[in-house]
Structure 1
Amino acid sequence: MTRTFIALEMNEAAQRHLEGVIHRVARGLPSVRWVDPAGIHLTLAFLGELTDEQLTEATEAAGIAARKVCSFSYNLSRLGVFGPAKQPRVIWMGINEPSGTLSLLHRVLNRELEQRGFAVDKRPFSPHLTLARVKVPLTSEEQGNLQSILTGKQHGIVSTEIYPVSSVYVMKSELSRMGAQYTCLQEWKLGDVL
């Protein structure tokens, strides 16, 4: 069985920016568990534990979806949280992709996965990059720091830089005490012929 997801990888420039954001924000939120910027990705579909046959089907679905969508670009829009603002579960960076190609890619991928018998997430697609998972309650000081960040202008956090996307990746995730380790199993270029 292979723990599998389909995602967009961040390029080095995006990783560097996110590393800077994490470093800056982490000072005011010392109890939060921040992710390794090298492992940050935008998940399009989390599929869980797959057999070899299912993995082949998922890889095929990702390839067909990638072929149907052209390359695009995005920028990092803002920090946000999942869960209550005073006690969030996740701190994330939003993605702004005005052409709608990212949402199209997500819809096409879900359709291809469903046609192969995979259950897909029916919630509205909310493209984001997970920066931290909050495992313990924030102190009142940390709550105040987070609120200041979320309601402020987020200078130095939001990036106007444009990041290109040209591939979709089928990824393997291995959990350990050191955190998740990711391995690319297949890269599909957007718009390429299978």
Structure 2
Amino acid sequence: MGNHYFIGIPISEDKRDEFADLQKLLKHDMSYKNWTHPDDFHITLKFLGACESTPLEKIEQQLMGYSWPEPFELSLGPADTFGKRERPRVFHISVEASSSLMMIQEGVEQICEQAGFAKEKRAYSPHVTLAKKWVDGQCPLMDEEVDPLFMSNYLMDVDRFCLYRIHPQQTPKYEAVCEVRLQRGGEV
């Protein structure tokens, strides 16, 4: 079995720090089995799973030769959950499904499908995972007075995305093995 991979947009350093601060607040109210390391914060474009080198090489070539949108600004926030609000399996920062983000996600999906990966059946829901696998505690988003930090919105410049290898036993877990830079004028 090969290593596991995914394609995603890294979160800028300043936003990583802010999201790590949100995690600290969240830890006062909730317990999760998995807390995302700040260096691993990202917006997933496509999860590939186990993958051998031949399809990966094909994907890398296609990613590097594709006509991607220019760098763009992306709106993130507020905090939200997946699952039942009283027992949310994932606590995350929501991400605006902007036209540029959707163009990248659809291009990545098409390239991966051509390389033999199944097309995702679920609708794309961009987000930044802060924690997953709820254990205990009450979601602070259910409080009558939600801490304003959980309701904050953020702007982030997106100028690249990466193919990541997953190292499940390491911290941080994700290693960028290929970086695709978005260029002004559509040149990659």
TM-score, normalised relative to structure 1 = 0.84
Report the 3-state secondary structure (helix = DSSP H, G, I; strand = E; otherwise coil) of the residue aligned with 1:69.
coil
**CA contact under 8 A between 1:26 and 1:32: conserved in structure 2?**
no
Q: Deviations over 1:148-187 (max 9, x none)?
A: 2xx75551234444210001101100111x5561111011
- Give the whole-Å Cα distance in 2 for the aligned partners of 1:144 and 1:170: 32
Q: Quick one: which of 163, 170, 175 aligns to 2:163?
A: 170
Report the 3-state secondary structure (helix = DSSP H, G, I; strand = E; otherwise coil) of the residue aligned with 1:157.
helix
Describe how 1:82-97 pairs up with structure 2 within 5 A: 82-96=82-96
**CA contact under 8 A between 2:32 and 2:131: conserved in structure 1?**
no
* Structure 2 equivalent of residue 107 of structure 1: 106
Q: Which amino acid in the other structure matches residue 91 of structure 1?
A: F
**CA contact under 8 A between 1:76 and 1:160: conserved in structure 2?**
yes
Report the 3-state secondary structure (helix = DSSP H, G, I; strand = E; otherwise coil) of the residue aligned with 1:57.
helix
Report the 3-state secondary structure (helix = DSSP H, G, I; strand = E; otherwise coil) of the residue aligned with 2:149.
coil
Q: Which amino acid in the other structure matches residue 189 of structure 1?
A: R
Shift in alpha-carbon separation, 1:112–1:32, aligned structure 2, 3 A:
closer
Residue 28, structure 1, aligned to residue 21, structure 2: no
- Give the whole-Å Cα distance in 2 for the aligned partners of 1:21 and 1:39: 15
- Give the whole-Å Cα distance in 1 for the aligned partners of 2:139 and 2:161: 38
**CA contact under 8 A between 2:88 and 2:139: conserved in structure 1?**
no
Describe how 1:28-67 pairs up with structure 2 within 5 A: 28-30=29-31, 33-65=34-66, 67=67
- Give the whole-Å Cα distance in 2 for the aligned partners of 1:28 and 1:42: 25
Q: What is the total number of aligned residue pairs between the two structures? A: 185
Report the 3-state secondary structure (helix = DSSP H, G, I; strand = E; otherwise coil) of the residue aligned with 2:148.
coil
**CA contact under 8 A between 1:15 and 1:37: conserved in structure 2?**
yes
Q: Which amino acid in the other structure matches residue 129 of structure 1?
A: V
Shift in alpha-carbon separation, 1:153–1:72, aligned structure 2, 3 A:
farther
* Structure 2 equivalent of residue 143 of structure 1: 138
Gaps of 5+ in 2: none
**CA contact under 8 A between 2:31 and 2:134: conserved in structure 1?**
no
TM-score, normalised relative to structure 2 = 0.87
Shift in alpha-carbon separation, 1:186–1:33, aligned structure 2, 3 A:
closer
Q: Give the percent of matched residue pairs that are identical in Structure 1 and Structure 2.
A: 23
* Structure 2 equivalent of residue 71 of structure 1: 71
Report the 3-state secondary structure (helix = DSSP H, G, I; strand = E; otherwise coil) of the residue aligned with 1:103.
helix
Q: Quick one: which of 168, 172, 177 aligns to 1:185?
A: 177
- Give the whole-Å Cα distance in 2 for the aligned partners of 1:152 and 1:8: 32
- Give the whole-Å Cα distance in 2 for the aligned partners of 1:147 and 1:3: 35
Gaps of 5+ in 1: none
Aligned Cα RMSD in Å? Answer: 2.2
* Structure 2 equivalent of residue 125 of structure 1: 124
Report the 3-state secondary structure (helix = DSSP H, G, I; strand = E; otherwise coil) of the residue aligned with 1:162.
strand
Q: Which amino acid in the other structure matches residue 155 of structure 1?
A: P
